[in-house]
Each structure stands twice: as C-alpha cells, then as structure tokens.
A and B are shown apart, each in its own frame.
Chain A
Amino acid sequence: MSDLVSQLKERFGDGIVDVNAETIDDWIEVTPDVLLDVCEFLAGDSAIKLDMLNCITAVDYLHTDPKKAAKADFDPHMQVVYHLSSIEHKHTLVLKVKVDRWKNGEEGSLPEVPSVAGIWRTADWHEREVYDLSGVLFTGHPNMKRILCPDDWVGYPLRKDYEMPLEYHGIRGR
C-alpha cells in the first residue's frame, strides 16, 4: 500500500488528495481531473494490474435534518467509490472521488465525473446505475441513461433529499 501511494504521488502529485491507511478498507482519494489517468495507470501497470472493477458506489453525504446538519462532521458532498481488485495479484484497492452534490451549486445540474467505461467494461452498467439512482453524470460514457428506473422517472432515489413522487402515470405513490 505505501509503495503504491508513493508511486501514485510521484506520478500525479496533487491529484492524490487523501490517503487513509488506518481504516478497515484502506482507500485513496483522487481528484476527478486525474481519475482517468490514475485508473489507466492502475489497470495497465504490470505490477499493480487492477484488472477487475468490482463495484462503483455513490454515497450522498447530506443531513436533511438541520439539527443534525449543524452537528455533522462533514460538509454536504457526494462520494463516488471504486472497488478494484486484481485477478493476477489477488489484491484490492478502494479509490474515492469527492464531488459537489450539484455542479457549481446550482440545484438540478448534476456533478460530473469522468467515465472509466473505456478501461473496465463493468463500469458501463455500474455508472448507469449510479447515474440513475444517485445522480452523478459520467462524462464520456457511451450510453448515459437510466438503467433500473424507467426513462421518464424524476429525481435520484438514493440522494438523501429525495422525495417519493406523489404519483407516477396515475399510480399513487403515497
């Protein structure tokens, strides 16, 4: 882990924002700008060779309750978490990217993260799912549309401030 971190820091400098090696699963946080390069390096380097993307998750950090928000130890933001593993070397890595909940703070414009579907094809469907449920736009994705919800669904259900629609095509929601 420490070898890898120094290697990454040497290559990407400020692109590596944070390294956490004391938690249960160690993770590395990178900026969205260098994400694609970091992933290309991790997947391509023969000594690291993280050739499998296990999972992409978006975690919405927002307290909707103002009382709790005042006590919270985080600012509202969105995290995209990549779980990677290597079939050949049998090791794993967690990458994180932090973005604002809304692009430029304008409600309704989705935050953007570069798509890694060109490196791992798994990302194709996983990114569509994250877009569908958490509302993160993956730039450069070949087919960015909803996958689990219907195409005309409004809102992003896994966001903390999501509200159930009152009705959908005449079906009562609540």
Chain B
Amino acid sequence: MSTKVDDPRVIEFDVRTDEMLINMGPQHPSTHGVLRLILRTDGEIVSEVEPHLGYLHRCAEKIGENLTPRQWVPYTDRMDYLAGMNMNLGWALVVEKLLEHDLPEKARHLRVIISEMGRIASHLVGMGAYGLDLGTFSPFLYAFREREKILDLFEKACGARLTYSYLTPGGATGDLPPGWVDECRDFLAQFKPCIPEFHELLTNNQIFIGRTAGIGVMSAATAINYGCTGPVLRGSGVPYDLRFNGEERYTEMYEGYQFDVIVQDPETGKYPDPHLEEFGDDLDYPEIPKEAILGDCWHRFYVRMLEVVQAIRLVEQALDKYESASGDWGQPIKLTQKLPKGEAYLETEAPRGQMGFYLVSTGDSIPWRVRARSSCFCNLSVTSELCRGTLLADVPAIVGSLDVVMGEIDR
C-alpha cells in the first residue's frame, strides 16, 4: 500500500519531540513547601532546572531591624519550622557572643538535650517525607508517631509544639519541669528499637535503593563550592561538623561529650560504628548497597539516619550531666538589653546544615542589621547542577534528599 504526502499517518510519523517547559510547584506535594521548579525537559530527560523562590518570604531580616534580640526569637522559630529549637539556639548564641555573656553549667547541658532532641525530630520528618517523595506512605506514619512524642516533651518543657521560642539569649525561658528528665529517658528507651524498623522500611528496601542509589551524585568539591553543609556535605564524604569544627562559643557546649561525625571513612568505605551494643542485640545496620556511590541520594539519607543515633547518644549523656550540674537554666537577658557597638557572626550545626546569624549593632538595644544565613538556601542552589541530565522521576528524589525547608530558604 502506498501512502500519499497528505496521508494523516505520514504527518503523525513526522511529529518532532520539542523541548518542553514543565512547571513543578509551588503546590506540588514533593517540593517540601512552596518551591517552584521550572523544568526544561527533552522527553523524559531533564536538561535544565530553575528553582523559583520567595513564596514564603516574610521579611524576617527587616523585622529584625525593628525589634530587640529577644523579641526577634519567635521569628527564628519560623525559619526552619521543623527544627525551631535549633534556630533559637543559633540566634541565642550570636547575641550572647556580642554581649560576651557566659552560661551556667546547667544551661549548657539543657541546650544540648533540647537541640539534639530537635535534631531527632527534624531528621524523622526528613526521613518520613523522603519516603513520601518516593511514593511510600508508611515510613511517614512511623516517623511521625515518634516525632509526636518528642513534640509532647517539648510541649511540656515550653508550652509550644512547633514554634517554641524556648532557648533565648541568656539561656532558656524556664527550667525543665519536674519529671521531664525521666520521661525523656523513657522515650529514648522506647525509641531505640524503632530505628531498625526504619532501616527495614526504607534503608534496606530494594525499591528505595533502586530509586536513590547512584542518583544525584555530588562530588565533595561541588558540595563545598556550592556551600552545601550538614548531612548534604557529609554525605559527599567531607568530615566537617561544626559541633567539632565550629567556633569555640559553640563547640564548648559539646565539651566532654562522646559522639562521632557521621561520614564515610575513605579507606574502609564504612561509616563510624553506630554503637550497636547500646541498642540491644538484634539491631543490624544495613550494609551499604553496592549500587550506592558516595555523594548520592542514598548516602545523604543514610547520614541522617545515623545522625539520629548520635543524637540519642548525646541526649543520654546530656541528661546525666544535666541532673548533676550546678547553676540554673540560664536567666534570659532583659527584653530591652542594650547591645554593645560591634558585630558578631556565628554558625551552628542545625539539622539541615550550618545556620548562621550575623548581628550588627550600633550601640542601641535594637540591632542595626540582622542577617540569617540559611543552610537550605545554599543546599537548594545545587539542584540545577544535580538534576541536569537526570530522568524526570529523579527530580523529586534529588530535591527530597537535600531535605529543604522553604521557611528557612525564603525567611
């Protein structure tokens, strides 16, 4: 059978595949909030990704120029709203640095307890939401069940469940209530056996490995050049953790504590011993799958999972030290405390990376300039590099592995 030129079948055969612009977000469930990605695709292959930010911009820095440091504490909660305690801590420390204010012993241990519990809660969301991104719902429920218990503990300590404003410049707004320490111990004892569950649900899951291992590989040099920090940096094999390498004002908080930086050993290819004996007998940590390459999504996820274990170790030590420490919980500074003329910059290791605050004062009680250096802002900027040339379905896997929170990016 011969075909003529105007035969519809011929024209259909001649259809060209054009490049296509696809809009993802800002209401897309797997963009972790209001992130909008413009994807340029050629069939299934993504050739370019352009993130559009600013949907959650609340002018936090401008507000900071009109409030005293203590009044600004609630605004830091709303930056990384999944780790509000760690944001409070970063701001509190930078104000104390400018005031050269030192804390009593007990306040220091209280801060370790609270910020490490915040880290566990935040990584649990990171883990659960990553499962959601990849199409599995159950890990999310398991993670939130445990996170809820941490939020209950936080609620007992300060009254709030999400935006705490608990750690303030000078210490904390109050002491832990009676019986809190024991409740926290009970929680940890109950939480530890859940960790193998998470590993079974996700880390060891063949589908999960297929979706994450070898996807979105980021070299250490790229990570450093883009300013990636936290688990994203350590997932690429760079042993850098501000709790060890940070400024003295921050690292002295962790003085006398035993914990490891979670990073793959370049020689043995193994992660530090997760201290199995403390976690009961039948806890098997998953082997690194052979498909996984250092710096891929799987490694970033795994670093978070192991950091939860380190955080538990830290909280356990901190609870003991807190009980035997002298002093009080640290009285907050005055609401209208005059700031000395000068400026201070300090970064802390928040769950998602290095959260920095910069405070410039001209000698008033209201800062001249406040700046928040967001970890997710830098971590997200690497997406366009990582997503270039990947499949469309890998974009949620890559963005999810960076574990971004838009509240912190847009401020």
A87 close to chain B: CB less than 8 A: yes
Is the CB–CB distance between A25 and B345 below 8 Å? yes
Residues of A within 8 A of B100 (CB): 24
Contact pattern, A 39-60, Cβ under 8 Å of B = 1, otherwise 0: 0000000000001111101011
| Given contact pairs A24-B343, A94-B345, A54 touches B61 in the complex (Cβ within 8 A) | no
On chain A, the number of residues with a Cβ less than 8 Å from chain B's Cβ atoms is: 31
Stretch with Cβ within 8 A of B (4 or more), from A10-18, A99-107, A117-125, A166-174: A117-125
Tell me whether A122 and B225 are in contact in the complex, defined as CB-CB below 8 angstroms, given that A24-B98, A59-B369, A90-B245 are known contacts: yes
B residues near A124, Cβ cutoff 8 Å? 381
- What distance in Å separates the Cβ of A146 from its nearest Cβ neighbour in chain B? 8
Q: Which of B76-84, B174-182, B354-362, B395-403 contacts A (4 or more CB under 8 A)?
A: B354-362
For this complex, into which size category does the number of interface residues on chain B fall? Answer: 35 or more
Would you call B227 and A53 a contact (CB within 8 A)? yes
Q: Which residue of A lies closest to B411 (CB)?
A: A148
Q: Does A95 contact B (CB under 8 A)?
A: no
Whether a CB of chain A sits under 8 angstroms from the CB of B377 is yes
In the complex, whether A8 has a CB less than 8 A from a CB of chain B is no
Q: Chain A 20-46 against B: per-residue CB contact (8 Å), 1 yes, 0 no?
A: 000111000000000000000000000
Given contacts A133-B61, A148-B57, A157-B59, contact A120 B356 (CB under 8 A): no
Looking at the complex, which one of B240, B368, B381 makes contact with A121 (CB distance below 8 Å)?
Answer: B381
Residues in B with CB closer than 8 Å to A149 are 54, 57
Interface string of B7-24 (1 = CB under 8 A from A): 000000000000000000
Given contacts A54-B347, A57-B371, A87-B240, contact A120 B227 (CB under 8 A): yes
Q: Is the CB of A158 within 8 A of B381?
A: no
In the complex, the answer to whether A25 meets B343 with C-beta atoms within 8 Å is yes
14 residue pairs from A and B, CB less than 8 Å apart: A23-B343, A24-B343, A83-B345, A87-B238, A90-B245, A120-B227, A122-B381, A125-B381, A133-B61, A148-B57, A148-B411, A150-B54, A157-B59, A157-B62
Residues of B within 8 A of A (CB): 53-54, 57, 59, 61-62, 97-98, 100, 224-227, 238, 240, 245, 247, 342-345, 347, 354, 356, 358, 360, 368-369, 371, 373, 377-378, 381, 410-411
